[in-house]
Amino acid sequence: MKTFLGIPLARPSESRTAYKSEPGHATTLQGDTGGGHLASEAAHNPTTIPTEPLRWGTSFPEAAQRALSNDQLRHNLGFATKTIRSKRAAVVAEAPDWEDLRDAGSQTKINVLASLPALLEQFERNFTARGGHVHWARDAQEANEIVTRLVKEQDTTEVVKVKSMATQEIGLNEYLAAQGIDAFETDLAELIVQLGDDLPSHILVPAIHRNRAEIKEIFERRMESLPEGMSDAPRELAMAAREHLRKKFLRAKVAISGANFGVAETGTLTVVESEGNGRMCVTLPETLITVMGIEKIIPSFSDYEVFMQLLPRSSTGERMNPYTSMWTGVTPGDGPQNVHVILLDNGRTRALADDVGRAALKCIRCSACLNVCPVYERVGGHAYGSVYPGPIGAILTPQLTGTTGHSDPNASLPFASSLCGACYEACPVKIDIPTLLVYLRNRVAEEDKAKHMPTAWGAAMSAATFVMSDSKRFAAASKGAGALRLMAGKKGYVQNVPLPIIKGWTQSRDLPSAPKETFREWWERTHPDAPQESPLPTDREDNA
Amino acid sequence: MSTARTEILGSIARALDGVPSGIGQGELAEVPRAYRRTSDLLPGSSQVIDILIDRLEDYKAHVHQVSSTDDIPAAVRDILSEASSVVRPAGLPESWLSMLPPSTTVTTDAPRPGSQGLSPYELDAIDAVVTASRVSIADTGTIVLDGQSDQGRRAITLVPDTHVCVVLASQVVHLVPEAVALLDEHPERPLTWISGPSATSDIELNRVEGVHGPRNLHVIIVG
C-alpha cells in the first residue's frame, strides 16, 4: 500500500461533498471581494472556497505530498517559521518566570473549561448590564444567520473585519457574500489571502506561504489605485494596503471581530493585534459584532496579567503586540454604541465531552506550535484542510467536526505528526499535544473497529490499543516515555512503530541511520541496577 | 431565553458530567501564581524608566525626556513643528499646547459633555493628537490609555498619523501584573494598550512600522 508519513493512502481524492453536513455556501470568488476590480481579471485563478472551513480538500497525506513538491512554498515556510522561532525564543528567554506563567495559564484554562456554564452566564450578565447584546449560536449556520440579520438591520451591504479565527471557522465571508454583503478583511495578511482568492495557511500570518513578489502581483491585479512604480519592498506593499483600506474604515457602519479573551467577571472583550486595523474596526463604526468561541472566556480581569504575557511572546515573538483593545459593552460617547457578541459552540461542546480531548480547548490561538513543528514547516497550512492547521489543528479540527471513520480527511489529521514533542514545549498553556495526537489516533482506530471495518489503520493501531485500553497503562506510557512509546507496544522498540512511518518519512527527507540498539536496550546495558520495567521517570513535573 | 442558549449550556453541562479526567489533563484547582506579580523596582524609579525607554526605542517609538511638567509645552512644540493641525481631548491641560505657533489649528474633541465628537473623516484630516496616559509597563514598552478626559475617545488617538503621548514617571511600573492591578480598579473603561507605532510583519516576516494606526508615536517622559 502506498503511504506517506506512514499513513496509508487508501482513498480517492474526490469526496469533499460527501462530508457536507449542512446546507453549504460554496462560493467561487471571482474578483469582487476587494471592491471594484477589473472585470477582465474576474476569471483569473478562481478558487472554490470550501463549503466547510474545517474540512476541505483531500486527506492530509495526499495534500502534504502535493505541498512538498512546491519548492517556493517550502522555501517561504522554512524562512518564516525559522524567523518566528528565533524571535519567540529570545523573548521567552527574557522572562525569568516563563514556566510559572505557563503553569498559571494552563490551570486557568483548565478551570475555565470545568466551570464553563457559570462563567458564560456571568459574562452574559455583565456584558448585557453594560448595554451589549449577547447571542448564542449552536453552529456555523446559526452564527452566520445572526451576523447577517444584524448587518442588514443597519441598512448596509459592506462590513470591515478584524482577523478572526472564529469567523473563518464558520465561513462567514462566503456566507455574507451569498447574502449580498461584502466583508472586507483588514489585516494585511488576510487581505492578501482574500485578494488572492486564496486560503489562509497559518493562524497568525495567514499569507505566510506568499513571498513579496507574489503579493505585489496580487495587489497589482486587485487594487484600484496603486502608488506609481510600487516595488515589492514590504514597506511599499504595506503602504498600498493602508491606502486601500483607509476609506473603507472611515465609511464603515458595521465591523465584525473575533475575540482573544472575554472576561466573565466584567464582560470585557479583547482584541490583540499589530496593525491598528483592529482598533479601527472596534472603534470607528457604529455597530460592532464579535464572534467568540465559548472557550475564550477567562474568569477575571486580573487574568490578563498572565495571558497578556503568554500570548504576545508566544505568538509574534514580541514582548507585547503593538495594539490591544479592551471594551466592556457600550461606552457612551466613545466607540460603537450598538455592540453585540455571538457565543459560538460549533463543535466545542462535542470536544468538551471527551475528557482527554477537551484539553485542545485550552488553546489561545498563538500559533507557536505551528512554528516549531517539523511537519508544518515542510507541508504548510493548506495540507491540513482546515482553518486550524499545524499541531493544534491536528487535535482541534477532528474534535470540532467529529470524524466519520478513516476515510474522512479529518481522521487523518492526528497522524500528521512525528510526535517529536516540540509543540508541547512551545505551548503557552501546556496542551500536551503529542499525547492528544496518539489518543485521537486510537479513537479513529476504535471508531473503525466499531464499524467492523478492518483496515490498515486499525491493524496499525492494535499495539497502541492495548496500552490505551486501560487508562493507567495509558497514563504511565504517555508520561513516562513520550507518546511514541504507545506505538511501540510492550517491547519498547521504537523502530517497530506499527505504522510504516519511517518509510514515508524518508520519501521527503533524509533520516539519520538507525541506532544499533534501542534506548531501552542501552539503558538496561548501562544501568544494570535500575528498575527494569520503567526506564524513564514515570511522572513529569507538569502532571504532578 | 433562546433555544440555542439553553441547548449550548445543556451540552456543556452534559459534557462536564461524570468522572474528572483520569490521565493528567487537569482538574479544577487553585491557579499557581509563582510568577512575578510585583517587582523590586519601584514605579517611576530610574531603572524602570531606563527599561521603558529601551523597549520603546526598540519598537521605533520616539522618546523625549523632560524633567518637569513645565517642560511639556516646549517639547510638544518641538515635536509638532511640522504639524498644521492638532486635536486634543477636552481634559488635556491647556498649557501643554500653549507654545504651538498660531498657524497650527488646535481642535478640541467633544469640548463639552454630551457634545458630538469629530467624525472619522474630520479626524483623518488632522495631522496629530496630544494626550496623557493612564499607566505604562516598562518590561514590555507598553502605554495604556483608559479613555479619561485627558486621553479622550479612542478614535482621536487612532486616526491622526502622529500621536504625542505624555507619560509621567510616577505612572511607569515595571511589570505587566502591576499595571493590570491598577487597571482593574476601572475594568469597564475602554482600554488601549500601545506598544510602539502600529506595525505588521505579514510580508515575509519583515517588520514594517506604521500601517493603520498612527505611523509616528512620540512619548514624552516627564520626571
User: Which chain B residue has the Cα nearest residue A348?
Assistant: B12
Q: What are the φ/ψ torsions at residue B15 (nearest 5 degrees)?
A: -65, -35
DSSP state at residue A221: H
Asked if A319 lies within 8 A of B195 by C-beta distance, the reply is yes
Taking the alpha carbons of A335, A340, A346, A348 in that order, is the dihedral positive or negative? positive
**Pairing assessment for the beta strands A338-344 and A133-137 based on DSSP bridges:** parallel
Beta bridge partners of A49: A27
CB-count exposure of residue B69 (10 Å: 0-12, 13-18, 19+):
middle
- B162-210: per-residue pLDDT in tens? 999 999 999 999 999 999 999 999 999 999 999 988 888 888 888 888 8
- Given this model, what pLDDT does residue A255 score? 98
- Given this model, what pLDDT does residue A25 score? 36
* Number of inter-chain CB pairs under 8 A, A vs B: 283
Does residue A456 sit in helix, strand or coil? helix
Asked if A319 lies within 8 A of B203 by C-beta distance, the reply is no
Residues 456-475 of A with CB under 8 A from B: 471, 474-475
Beta bridge partners of B221: B65, B167
CB-count exposure of residue A294 (10 Å: 0-12, 13-18, 19+):
buried
Give average pLDDT by consecutive 10-residue segment, chain B, 223 residues: 90 80 64 97 98 96 97 98 96 97 96 86 97 98 98 97 98 98 98 92 83 94 96
- Given this model, what pLDDT does residue A62 score? 85
- Given this model, what pLDDT does residue A50 score? 58
- Tell whether B155 lies on the interface with A, counting CB pairs under 8 A: yes
Nearest to B11 among A111, A276, A349 (CB): A349
C-alpha cell belonging to residue B11: 451540552
Asked if B180 lies within 8 A of A301 by C-beta distance, the reply is yes
- Tell whether B67 lies on the interface with A, counting CB pairs under 8 A: no
DSSP state at residue B126: -
Task: Tell me the one-letter amino acid at A421.
Answer: G
Looking at the complex, report in whole angstroms how far the Cα of residue A14 sits from the nearest Cα belonging to chain B.
33
- Given this model, what pLDDT does residue A495 score? 36
DSSP state at residue A137: E
- Given this model, what pLDDT does residue B27 score? 79
Domains of chain A: 95-224+232-344 (3.40.50.10420), 368-543 (no CATH)
User: Which chain B residue has the Cα nearest residue A205?
Assistant: B202
In this structure, what is the dihedral angle of CA atoms A55, A56, A60, A63, given to the nearest 10 degrees? Answer: -170
DSSP secondary structure letters along A491-521: TT-GGG-SS-HHHHHTTTS--PPPPSS-HHH
Residues 72-111 of B with CB under 8 A from A: 110
C-alpha cell belonging to residue A522: 542501552
Asked if A325 lies within 8 A of B177 by C-beta distance, the reply is no
Mutate to test the interface with B, among A94, A294, A305, A352 (most CBs of B within 10 A): A305
In this structure, what is the dihedral angle of CA atoms B119, B120, B126, B131, given to the nearest 10 degrees? Answer: 90
CB-count exposure of residue A341 (10 Å: 0-12, 13-18, 19+):
buried
Superfamily of domain B42-222: NagB/RpiA/CoA transferase-like (3.40.50.10420)
Chain A neighbors of B120, CB-CB under 8 A = 249-250, 284
- Tell whether A323 lies on the interface with B, counting CB pairs under 8 A: yes
Q: Give pLDDT tens digits along chain A (544 positions).
A: 444 444 444 333 333 333 333 333 333 333 333 333 333 333 333 334 456 888 877 888 888 888 888 888 888 888 889 999 999 999 999 999 999 999 999 999 999 999 999 999 999 999 999 999 999 999 999 999 999 999 999 999 999 999 899 999 999 999 999 999 999 999 999 999 999 988 888 888 888 888 899 999 999 999 988 888 899 999 999 999 999 999 999 999 999 999 999 999 999 999 999 999 999 999 999 999 999 999 999 999 999 999 999 999 999 999 999 999 999 999 999 999 999 999 999 999 999 998 889 999 999 999 999 999 999 998 888 889 888 999 999 999 999 998 887 788 898 899 888 899 999 999 999 999 999 999 999 888 887 777 655 444 454 455 444 444 444 444 444 443 444 444 443 433 333 333 334 344 434 444 444 455 666 566 667 776 655 444 343 333 333 3
Task: Tell me the one-letter amino acid at A282.
Answer: V
Residues 37-56 of B with CB under 8 A from A: 37, 55
Beta strands in A17-169 (DSSP E): 27-29, 47-49, 133-137, 158-161
Single pTM value for the model = 0.83
Nearest to B139 among A189, A238, A319 (CB): A319
**Pairing assessment for the beta strands A182-185 and B135-137 based on DSSP bridges:** unpaired
Mutate to test the interface with A, among B203, B207, B219 (most CBs of A within 10 A): B203
**Pairing assessment for the beta strands B216-222 and A27-29 based on DSSP bridges:** unpaired
DSSP secondary structure letters along B52-70: HHHHHHHTT-EEEEESSGG
Asked if B8 lies within 8 A of A211 by C-beta distance, the reply is no
Chain A neighbors of B137, CB-CB under 8 A = 320
Asked if A107 lies within 8 A of B201 by C-beta distance, the reply is no
Asked if A246 lies within 8 A of B212 by C-beta distance, the reply is yes
Looking at the complex, report in whole angstroms how far the Cα of residue A194 sits from the nearest Cα belonging to chain B.
14
- Tell whether A325 lies on the interface with B, counting CB pairs under 8 A: yes
- Given this model, what pLDDT does residue A517 score? 61
CB A314 within 8 A of CB A370: no
Beta bridge partners of B166: B220
Place of cell 506550535: A369
Beta bridge partners of B107: B87
